[in-house]
């Protein structure tokens, strides 16, 4: 168990991918308070831990006790993400969590990929 301490506030936090995503739990979100969380890693390993990670965000954010708007930025399309979004939409709104989706694309050096712009 991690030693107790005050929460850490950041503007942007990247959530780990692959096997490391299993380390992101309710305690992580209670202690690492970010304005924006980026969920990256479009792989089969992430799909298996994505729902518990997203549920941990809701549980951890509930414990903050302060009203801070949080933006969740997925960098890939996922059936698990869509289901979680629909099933927990009311809870997301209660907690001040916005899921940022984008249909925008960026073209660079003969490559096109989805993107979104985040400003602070």
DSSP string, 45-83: HHHHHHHHHHHHHHHHHHTS-S---EEEEESS--HHHHH
Provide the pLDDT confidence category of residue 101 given band limits of 50, 70 and 90.
Answer: confident
Q: How far is 76 from 71, CA to CA, in rounded Å?
A: 15
Largest CA-CA distance found in the chain, in angstroms, rounded = 49
61-87-69-34 Cα dihedral, nearest 10 degrees: 50
What average pLDDT does the structure give for the chain? 85
Q: How far is 28 from 88, CA to CA, in rounded Å?
A: 20
10 Å CB burial of residue 69 (0-12, 13-18, 19+) is: exposed
Question: And the tokens for 3?
Answer: 């030693």
pLDDT of residue 46: 67
Tens of pLDDT, residues 17-70: 766 777 889 999 999 999 999 987 666 656 778 889 999 999 999 999 888 999
Cβ partners under 8 Å of residue 99, min gap 6:
71, 72, 74, 81, 85, 92
- Contact between 102 and 116 (Cβ < 8 Å): yes
């Amino acid at each position: 168990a991690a030693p107790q301490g005050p929460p850490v506030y950041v503007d942007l936090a990247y959530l780990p991918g692959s096997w490391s995503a299993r380390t992101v739990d309710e305690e992580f979100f209670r202690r690492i308070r970010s304005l924006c969380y980026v969920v990256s890693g479009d792989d089969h390993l992430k799909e298996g831990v994505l729902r518990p990670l997203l549920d941990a965000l809701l549980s951890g954010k509930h414990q903050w006790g302060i009203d801070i708007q949080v933006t969740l930025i997925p960098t890939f399309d996922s059936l698990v993400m869509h289901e979680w979004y629909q099933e927990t939409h009311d809870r997301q709104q209660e907690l001040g969590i916005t899921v940022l989706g984008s249909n925008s694309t960026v073209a660079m050096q003969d490559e096109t990929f989805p993107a979104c712009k985040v400003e602070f």
